[in-house]
Amino acid sequence: RDGGREVADLRTAFNTMLEHIDDSLAVRAEAELRLRRFVADASHELRTPLMSVRGYADLFQYAAANEPAERERHLARLRAEAARMGFLLDDLLLLARLDAAEVEAPLRTADTDLVDLVQQAADAFRAGHPGHPLTVASDPGRLVLRLDPQRVRQVLDNLLTNAAVHTPAGTPVSVTVSTTPGAALLRITDAGPGIPPDDTERVFDRFYRVDKARSRDRGGTGLGLAVARSLTRAHGGDITLTSTPATTTFTIHLPL
Ligand code: ADP
């Protein structure tokens, strides 16, 4: 009788093991699929500006030599497309480094006043986007955290630029700094068109855009939010998003 129970126990253990193997194979297959899609998307995204570079080079070559203004225009467009490829590659490389973060932490942390960092980002935003009124409000006067100032500034710049680029001219933007018992919160809010509920998680996916053609025309890489989320997570924090048809709020959570 005992032998029968042992066999039954063994069978149960064996089945559990098989289920675990199935699960890990499924996880792996999914990860592989994601990676393949990422490589395909990245190639496609790089191909678009590359084709433009070729096109403008041809136009430049065939433009009549006595049309210097026309040639200059082609050259300027060619430079802009090449710059776009550069931005895209910067983002791709940073994401690859963050993906491998278990191997090498890509952050250079230092004690940093978050309120001061926000003020610097706000000043740069006002200079670059004079059409969008920006207000900053902070509960604490100073809030020193151990973080990578350049990377957190990059996250802020990204969210602020999005608030200007994806909203009509004149749309106000606000940043607030506050704390909870465990975290510092930075909220970036714009009174723009909002992000549809179905898209609020997907906008963090690599290359996902709500309005594909328009967003690409505005010069974005489609990687900004993916990079921002990865960078925040590398700090042990996260980014969340709430949106209505009249407002969009991104909240950066950073552990204290
Ligand atoms: P992009 O380079 O296109 O800005 P992001 O990853 O930064 O890429 O953003 C992904 C998409 O999320 C954008 O294409 C846009 O559709 C949407 N989005 C981001 N921020 C905002 C915002 N503040 N208001 C409305 N839509 C936004």
Could you read off the pLDDT tens digit of each residue along the chain, which spans 256 residues?
678 888 888 999 999 999 999 988 988 888 888 888 888 888 988 998 899 999 999 999 888 777 888 889 999 999 999 999 998 999 998 888 888 775 556 788 999 999 999 999 999 999 999 999 999 999 999 999 999 999 999 999 999 999 999 999 999 999 999 999 999 999 999 998 999 999 999 999 999 988 876 666 667 789 999 999 999 999 999 999 999 999 999 999 999 9
How much is the pTM?
A: 0.84
38, HSE (Cβ side, Cα atoms, 13 Å): 16
Q: Tell me the CA–centroid distance for residue 189 and ligand 1, in Å.
A: 13
What's the pLDDT at 62? 87
Q: Tell me the CA–centroid distance for residue 137 and ligand 1, in Å.
A: 24
What's the pLDDT at 107? 86
Evaluate: CB of 189 within 6 angstroms of ligand 1: no
Residues 6+ apart with CB under 8 A from 231: 94, 98, 151, 152, 154, 155
Evaluate: CB of 149 within 6 angstroms of ligand 1: no
Evaluate: CB of 227 within 6 angstroms of ligand 1: no
Q: Tell me the CA–centroid distance for residue 166 and ligand 1, in Å.
A: 6
Question: Distance (Å, rounded) from C-alpha 204 to C-alpha 40?
Answer: 18
Quick one: tokens of 98? 């963050």
Evaluate: CB of 84 within 6 angstroms of ligand 1: no
Helix axes 2-62 and 68-99, enclosed angle (nearest 10) = 160
Q: Tell me the CA–centroid distance for residue 229 and ligand 1, in Å.
A: 13
Evaluate: CB of 145 within 6 angstroms of ligand 1: no
Evaluate: CB of 224 within 6 angstroms of ligand 1: yes
Evaluate: CB of 163 within 6 angstroms of ligand 1: yes
Task: Give the DSSP H or E segment for 220.
Answer: none
* DSSP category for residue 199: G
Q: Tell me the CA–centroid distance for residue 36 and ligand 1, in Å.
A: 23
Residue with tokens 């151990």: 146
ipTM of the complex: 0.98
Q: Tell me the CA–centroid distance for residue 161 and ligand 1, in Å.
A: 9
For 192-206, letters b (16+ CB in 10 Å) and e give: bbbbeeebbeebbbb
Evaluate: CB of 210 within 6 angstroms of ligand 1: yes
Q: Tell me the CA–centroid distance for residue 69 and ligand 1, in Å.
A: 35
Nearest protein Cα to ligand 1, atom 23:
163
Evaluate: CB of 215 within 6 angstroms of ligand 1: yes
